[in-house]
Amino acid sequence: MFGLGGKTEMVTEERALGGRESRPWSLGTHVVLRTPVVSDDVPEGHEVAVFGLGCFWGAEEIYWQMPGVWSTSVGYAGGYTPHPTYDEVCSGRTGHTEAVRIVFDPEVVSYAALVKKFFEVHDPTQGMRQGNDVGTQYRSAIYWSTPEQEQTARELTKVYGDELARRRLGAITTEIRPASETPYFYAEDVHQQYLAKNPFGYRCHANTGVAFPETA
């Protein structure tokens, strides 16, 4: 379940699993925020952020606690296989990373604040792993939805990267890509708000221990 011994080389599109035409499971209401998990119709004035930062159970828990976050879900992004299952993603043969999708009100919480939290709560230098979780599905990623999000993501990545370099820590390996290039597929219901349903469940919070510079 924790990805030990997972694949660390990205599968090519030609060798990826075929997947399926539609999502074979239904999803209900967010058990914490009481909002829709499948939130394709984003409320007016809200935005969407998609991040990969290791095991999506703990990542989603972090973000649903932030004021201004309307809904969260966990899923798979950055890969090739349409509507993959968890087991397929963990096989390393879909190309996806475990991701969290955040619908937020930018009047309450900025995209920059979400990105800063992203860098502080995982280790963006570890490549195809987070702590003991090893495999391409644990790689660090930001999938931006607007040019403004891209600019913010790249600027803050540089700021945090410079801070890590000043402390002689590793280089950032975070994948930064447009969300339009990599569809987000919702994970199975058992994984949605997993730690609300299983409060003593597994949390992977590998991180550098470096706070985001206050001047940024």
Q: What is the pLDDT of residue 31?
A: 98
Nearest in space to 210 (alpha carbons), one of 120, 141, 147: 120
Q: What is the pLDDT of residue 57?
A: 97
Asked whether 47 and 179 are in contact (CB, 8 A), the reply is: no
> Residue ranges of the domains in the chain?
27-197
Q: What is the pLDDT of residue 205?
A: 83
**pLDDT tens string for the chain (216 positions)?**
444 445 899 999 999 999 999 999 999 999 999 999 999 999 999 999 999 999 999 999 999 999 999 999 999 999 999 999 999 999 999 999 999 999 999 999 999 999 999 999 999 999 999 999 999 999 999 999 999 999 999 999 999 999 999 999 999 999 999 999 999 999 999 999 999 999 999 998 899 999 999 865
Of 55, 114, 153, 179, catalytic: 55
Instruction: Mark whether 90 is an active-site residue.
Output: no
Strand partners, 73: 101
Domain 27-197 belongs to what topology?
Peptide Methionine Sulfoxide Reductase; Chain A (3.30.1060)
pLDDT, tens digit, for every residue of 170-208? Answer: 999 999 999 999 999 999 999 999 999 999 999 988 999
Asked whether 145 and 49 are in contact (CB, 8 A), the reply is: yes
Q: What is the pLDDT of residue 216?
A: 56
What's the rounded Cα separation, in Å, for the pair 20 and 38? 18
What's the rounded Cα separation, in Å, for the pair 84 and 113? 30
Rounded percentage of the chain residues whose pLDDT exceeds 90: 94
Asked whether 39 and 104 are in contact (CB, 8 A), the reply is: no
Tell me whether strands 141-144 and 47-52 are parallel, antiparallel or unpaired. Answer: antiparallel
What's the rounded Cα separation, in Å, for the pair 111 and 117? 10
What is the signed CA dihedral for 79, 43, 191, 98, rounded to 10 degrees?
30
